[in-house]
Amino acid sequence: MDCIRIRGGQPLQGTVAIDGAKNAALPLMAASLLTDQPVTLTRYPQLGDTRSMADLLRRLGVEATTPDMCAGTMGLVTPSVTSTTADYDLVRRMRASVLVLGPLLARSGHAEISLPGGCAIGTRPIDLHLRALTELGASIELEGGYVRARASRGGLRGGRVRFAQVSVGATENTLMAAVLARGETRIENAAREPEVTDLARCLLAMGAHIEGLGTGTLHVQGDTVFRPASHRILGDRIEAGSYAAGALITGGYLRLAGAPADAMTATLDVLRSIGAGVEISAGDVVVNGSGTLAAADVETGVYPAFPTDMQAQIMAVLCLAGGRSRIVENIFENRFMHVSELVRMGARIKVRGRTAEIDGVQRLLAAPVMATDLRASLSLVLGALAAEGESVIRRVYHLDRGYSRLETKLRAVGAIVRRTSEDGST
């Protein structure tokens, strides 16, 4: 297995091009199952997760091609659905595979999806997805670790869905099912994440009728007659926030080209409170990390609150901030896996339930560390970028799921970073 070796102490300086958002690309790709009309996605990010999604979709009958990788274009067309099963080996690898459930049910009237199982950050059930689809007339059975969903004879029917808890994926599955259901659907307590709105925008371009974008209540008129559509994927606010944290932790200065500033308000506010200078200029976000790092209290929450996907990264920065910081993780029950590895680099962090207390230290020290999940692995990269000496980060396949060309982008702004195999050979 590969690992990444980073010699810390270099301020990151220069420009980083921000890719299309992983968490927008995945539902957008699944949406192509809804229709036999072509869907063209631009600013498509080449990631482990998007490759897994493309593999799954091809097994279901989608023709997924990347005609022009330089322009980051992904073409998707589903002349007919040839399978309605997403099996365990795929779903286990990538939980977002569950996003084919709504489109398959809507297009074909049935779907068999392996239950995703838990992952490093929590049990991550899909009960909210299933309950919502039942409101649209689906009958759901759980058998042998699989969800077997079937629409009534006439297909899904519009209905009223009210989520007891905000869920990004469940909102996306329901939205995609509703555009093909017969009649109107009202979705209440819907997730407002920018990636959900990006999916709705693409569905509108495909011919759907949806109102309430960006709010907690979506009105969907069903029975969509689809047309060919092209959609530019929203910039990745988490990738951008991750590099912004890199500028801060190394005392550097980065221009994040194409960062979606409007979708990052809470993140930029937290970065400013820790000491970053942040400017929005010409569609880019410019982060000046040369100031002194100050302690901060941060709570994660559903959009527009501070995103859970930035929690591990901000924790790495706060390890070097003067004073005591607190982070409360309100979304996932086990998203502090990076703490023990940061402590191995000299950080002083105590976890009590959903709260982590971080007492800033003068310096972090290089160490061999191990990534456990996507965002935790980026927090270790950040720690290594600031630490004295060379750190080795193992299990970097976690990183490859959500960050494209990480070493290339980091090297281009001054980091001393290389990818090797475990035994050190490149």
Residues of the shown chain interacting with ligand EPZ in the complex, contacts defined by CB under 6 A: 22-23, 26, 96, 122, 124-129, 165, 167-170, 193, 195, 308-309, 331-332, 374-375, 402
Q: How far is the CB of 104 from ligand EPZ (least distance, A)?
A: 17
Residues in Cβ contact with 349 at an 8 Å cutoff, skipping those fewer than 6 apart: 315, 319, 339, 342, 343, 356, 357, 358, 359
Exactly one of 3, 70, 119, 202 is catalytic; name it: 119
Contacts of 218 (CB under 8 A, 6+ apart): 171, 175, 185, 186, 187, 190, 200, 210, 211, 212
Answer for the pair 330, 349: CB distance below 8 angstroms, yes or no: no
Is 202 an annotated catalytic residue?
Answer: no
Least distance CB 356 / ligand EPZ (angstroms)? 17
Contact 85, 91 (CB under 8 A): no
Q: Quick one: which of 209, 199, 204 has its CA closest to 170?
A: 199
Q: CB 63 → ligand EPZ: shortest distance, Å?
A: 23
CB neighbours of residue 123 within 10 Å: 11
Residue 170 CB, shortest distance to ligand EPZ, in Å, is 5
Of 320 and 331, nearer to ligand EPZ (C-beta) is: 331
Cα-based distances in Å from 13 to 224, 246, 251, 283, 289 = 48, 10, 9, 18, 10
CB of 94 to ligand EPZ, least distance (A): 8
Closest approach, Cβ 147 to ligand EPZ, in A, equals 11
> Which of 125/283 has CB closer to ligand EPZ?
125
Q: Which residues contact 177 (CB under 8 A, 6 or more apart)?
A: 102, 103, 105, 106, 133, 136, 138, 156
Residue listed under structure tokens 């047309």: 227
CB of 171 to ligand EPZ, least distance (A): 8
Largest interatomic CA distance in the chain = 66
At 124 the three-state DSSP class reads: coil
DSSP 8-class letter at 87: -
Q: Of 285, 291, 287, which is closest to residue 253 (Cα–Cα)?
A: 287
Bridge partners (DSSP) of residue 143 are: 146
Give the C-alpha separation, 371 to 354, whole Å: 20
Closer to ligand EPZ by Cβ: residue 190 or 413: 190
Distance CA 191, CA 351 (A): 28
Point out the residues that are catalytic. Answer: 119
